[in-house]
Structures are given as C-alpha cells and as structure tokens.
Amino acid sequence: MLRNKYILLLLIALNSLMLKAQGVDPNVSEADPNLKIGQRYEPIYSQYWVNGLAINPAYTGSRECFSNIILYRNQWMGFEGAPVTQTLSSHAPFKDEKNAAGLFIFHEEIGVTDYFEVYGNYAFRFQLGQGRLSLGLRAGATFFQGNYSDVVAEPEGATDDYLVDESEVFPNAGVGVYYYTDQFFAGLSVPKLLSYEVKNSQKNMSVSPENYDFLFTAGFLYSFSDKVRVRPTALFRYRLNNGLQFDAGAHFIFYDAVWFGGTYRMSNEYSFMAEYQATEQIRAGVAYDIAGGDLAGQHNGSLEIILRYEFKYRIRAVSPRYF
C-alpha cells in the first residue's frame, strides 16, 4: 500500500525512467493525462530471440516443433512499483508444415496498475531459397486494471473520491514477416495496429501509424569449429514520433550447450546473459541488465529468467537450433 502523497511522485518517476530507458522524450504522448493503450511502447526483452512470439507473430511455428516458453522479468530492481513481467507462449506448425498457430499470454504489473494480454497467433509459411518465409497475424486484447483504491489517503482516514478502480478492454491486432535458415534469421513486425484514448469514461479507437512500433530483428551464426560458434543479433525499434532505437550484441556458443554473451541497448544499458541447453527439449537462460547514463545508480539492475520446453515430435525438427 502506497501513501497518496507519494503515489504521484512514484508514477511520475516510473514514467520518466521507462521513457528514458527506451530513448523516449518524456514530453511526447506517453505523458498525456489520457490513457493511450495503443501508444504504450512494446516491453523490453533482453532475450528477445528466444521469446520471439512476444514481438513477431510470424515467429509462430519457426521452431518446427511444439515449443513452450515462460519468462519472468523484474525490471529496475529496488525501485518500488517498477515493472514486473511474466509471459507464456506456445506454438507449433501443423502437419502440412505450411500453417502454424500459437498462443501468447502477457502480464505486467507497474505500481498499482496491471496489464494483461492474450493473443492468438497464426503464420503461413513457405519455402524460399534455403529457408522459410513466414507471414504472421495476431489478434487478441489488452486488459487494463488500475487498482487505484489500493492507494492510502494522507492523512489517515481521509478519502479521495477520484481514486477509484478502473478497468478497460482494448482489442488489437498485429502483423509480421519472418525469414529463417539454419544460419540466419530476419524479421519485421508491428505488434499492435490500433491505438486507444480513454477520457471521461469514453474509449476512442484509431489507426495511427505514427504510434506503431516497427520492430526489426536479425542474426546469423558463424562457426569457428564444431565446438565454438558465435551468433551476433540485433533488434531495431522505430516509431515515427520517436525515431530509431536498437539493441545489438553477440553470444559465444560452446559445444552447442553453453551460451555466454551480452548486448548494448541504445538507452545506455548493458545486458549480460548465460544460457544452458540441458537436453534437446530443455533450455534455460538468465539475463542481467545494468544501466548507465542518467539511470546509473537509480536501481539495482534488471533480472530476466527464461525457460523453454519443446516436444520434439517433428521429423523436420533440427537439433540443435540456434534461432
């Protein structure tokens, strides 16, 4: 429970930190007093290449097996009310190998607010050159819950009539394209096509390209030998009203089982990662982010843990897979 005289300071600080962490000017639409769900920037994932369904529906089925992933992310540890995120994704190709389907579930708690998302994903895939080209669609909704009644008024016993719980449902859809081989991948997506403005209990929907997050991912594999490989990857985020942001880094892979690497985020963050392929089916990874620049020393870093379990029932399933 947070006291009223601190809650506004907390939310303002969180808003400023989140915008700085993504390279956003705090004076743009995110600071607008109206709730614009469609204008929320897509969450940051350090291990985005593993959690591909979170950012691109065309990733559906690309593992060529029934793939299941859970992720936990505690952002800006030590900062009260900072984002805590959990995701669950499952996807698989159909027997005809041309079609694939998946489910993505997201929850994020920020202060006294909760965001839930449930999206169904579909991809149509076909052979192109030495790899596959996948065209993806997603449809679902964001469920917003503002638990403002959890705020304790100051002084004790006083009431704030404007601090009432709010909830909204925002349907949405996204599109993406993804191309991959055994040695390379590239994808482009717009995870949300709709924007919403809520004011005085009225919800207005719009299609505003200036609010789109265009996400481009790419990576390739280079083998020094059968025992040592390196896999550079990059994620570019572009929004018309904010410009270009990026993450870039690389993993070193030893014996196709142990992965060590790091990335640099344009917002002056550094992420260090380790992953372990325990069996053909089980993979675990952890990432720890350290902030530089204006955010240095304001929190204890960010922790992300991911676990993947795959049912290897497909003849075409390749082991190991690097993307």
> Which one of 2.40.160.40, 3.40.50.920, 1.10.3080.10, 3.90.1150.10 gives the CATH number of domain 2-311?
2.40.160.40
Return the H-helix or E-strand segment holding 168. strand 166-180
β-strand 151-152 against 2-3: which pairing, if any? Answer: parallel
For residues 29-40, give the mean pLDDT: 47
The string of pLDDT tens digits covering residues 231-275 is: 999 999 998 877 898 999 999 999 999 999 999 998 788 999 999
* pTM score of the predicted model: 0.85
pLDDT tens-digit readout, 266-315:
878 899 999 999 998 999 999 999 987 766 667 788 999 999 999 875 54
* 322 three-state secondary structure: coil
More confident call, 26 vs 92: 92
Q: What is the DSSP letter of 4?
A: H
Residue 92 has pLDDT above 70, yes or no: yes
For residue 314, what pLDDT is reported? 53
Average model confidence (pLDDT) for the chain?
A: 83
d(CA 138, CA 30): 24
Higher pLDDT, 224 or 298: 224
Alpha-carbon distances of 191 from 139, 141, 177, 198, 297, rounded to whole Å: 10, 12, 11, 21, 32
**Portion of the chain with pLDDT greater than 70, in percent:** 78
Give ∠ CA 151-15-69 in degrees, rounded to 5: 90
